[in-house]
Structure 1
Amino acid sequence: MEKSQKILSAREVFGQNLRRFRRLKDISQEELALRSELSRTYVSEVERGIRNVSIDNMGLLAEALGVELKELVDPKIFSSIESHLD
C-alpha cells in the first residue's frame, strides 16, 4: 500500500523547512528568535504552520539561520532525506 501524500500549503512548507534547518544547525527556537529579533512564540507558530509569515520576517529567519530564503520555501529540499526515512 502506498502512502498518500498530503499537499502542504506554502506556509506549512516554510514552517517545516525552518524547523529542519534549525535542528540541523542545532539552534533552539529561543536562539533563532534572538538572532532574528522575533519572539520565540512567533518562531514556534511559524514552524507549526499556524502563523502567516511576512516576506520580511521570512528574510530575517533565513538570514538568522544562514540559509538562502529559497531553501526555506522549496517543498522538495528535504525530499531525498525523507525518502530514506520511509
Structure 2
Amino acid sequence: MSASITLAKGRDKSVRRRHPWIFSRGIESVKGDPQLGETVDVLAHNGQWLAKAAYSPKSQIRARVGLLPNKTSIKRSL
C-alpha cells in the first residue's frame, strides 16, 4: 500500500488551484513511513484523492505536487 498525506480541513484549496507546495502546517496526518523523495497520495480532509506529490519529511515544504487529475505523470523537474 502506498503512503499518503491527509490535509487539514480547508487546506486543500491551494492544491485544487494547482499550487505545487504543501506546507507542513497544512498536513493533518501521514499514513505509512514515506522517505525523502517518495511519491505519496495527497488526500483532502474528507478522504478525497487530490494529487500525487514528492514527500520531504524534514522540510517546511513537506510535499511538492507533481500529478493532478487529468495529468499523466509527475514532472521530471521535481
Shorter-normalised TM-score: what interval?
Answer: under 0.3
Structure showing the higher helix proportion among its residues:
1
The alignment's TM-score, normalised by the length of structure 2, stands at 0.26
Structure 1 or 2, whichever has the larger Rg, is 1
